[in-house]
């Protein structure tokens, strides 16, 4: 899923957490960071199989499980919540393209954006694309399910934020920045797919 979805889920989790413990800037920030942390492995994609950052260990269930275990052993609720926030990221990513969730060198997940006969042929399909990145972005934005999830998370995020932690409204900045990033990427790739010249530098992922 897009980083904006993960950011929104982080805000939702922080809001729910505030019902059980007192939260401050650092706690809310750490919960949101945990919800998007896995996507920082985009900068390590050169070490991943087929350049797919979701094949890296950071996109498996083990790091969040370790966090949750540390939280239980230390009786630190915040660390437990951080682990669950991270784990939800991995589980949500199973919906669109899947992840190497069990770190078995195999993508696992529901993978709504692929047809059944495409699951094992993604590298082959990408090789046939003039602009490989456009394949992923186009499939995502053409999916009613993905857009539906984006809208649903956005609505719940705003409700949760303004009901439970309105004093931390400024964390919405990250949500809007990540959303702008993805929309800009979509518009630029669509422009390039129609034969246009590059206008902005794109981040490969």
Q: Kindly report the length of the chain.
A: 205
Integer angstrom CA distances of residue 135 from 41, 93, 97, 106, 170: 21, 17, 12, 21, 34
Distance CA 190, CA 183 (A): 11
Q: Give the per-residue pLDDT at 147.
A: 96
Q: Give the per-residue pLDDT at 205.
A: 60
Distance CA 19, CA 6 (A): 21
Q: Give the per-residue pLDDT at 145.
A: 95
Closest CA to 26 of 67, 86, 82: 82
Q: E strands, the chain, where? A: none
Distance CA 46, CA 121 (A): 20
The pTM of the full predicted model, rounded to 2 decimals, is 0.92
Domain ranges of the chain: 3-114+149-182
pLDDT in tens, the chain (205 residues): 999 999 999 999 999 999 999 999 999 999 999 999 999 999 998 898 888 899 999 999 999 999 999 999 999 999 999 999 999 999 999 999 999 999 999 998 999 999 888 887 887 888 788 888 889 999 999 999 999 999 999 999 999 999 999 999 999 999 999 999 999 999 999 999 888 888 877 766 6
3-class secondary structure, 2? coil
């Amino acid at each position: 899923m897009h980083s904006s979805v993960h950011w929104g889920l982080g805000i939702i989790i922080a809001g729910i957490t505030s019902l059980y413990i007192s939260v401050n800037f650092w706690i809310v920030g750490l919960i949101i960071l945990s919800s998007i942390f896995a996507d920082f492995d985009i900068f390590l994609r050169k070490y991943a199989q087929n350049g797919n950052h979701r094949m890296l260990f950071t996109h498996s269930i083990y790091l969040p499980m370790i966090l949750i275990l540390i939280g239980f052993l230390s009786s630190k609720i915040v660390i437990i919540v951080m682990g669950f926030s991270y784990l939800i990221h991995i589980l949500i990513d199973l919906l669109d393209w899947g992840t190497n969730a069990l770190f078995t060198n195999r993508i696992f997940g529901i993978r709504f954006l692929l047809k059944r006969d495409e699951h094992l042929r993604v590298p082959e399909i990408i090789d046939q694309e003039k602009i490989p990145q456009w394949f992923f972005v186009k499939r995502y934005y053409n999916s009613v399910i993905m857009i539906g999830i984006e809208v649903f998370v956005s609505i719940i995020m705003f409700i949760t934020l303004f009901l439970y932690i309105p004093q931390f409204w400024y964390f919405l900045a990250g949500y809007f920045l990540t959303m702008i990033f993805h929309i800009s990427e979509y518009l630029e790739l669509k422009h390039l797919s129609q034969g246009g010249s590059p206008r902005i530098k794109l981040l490969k992922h």
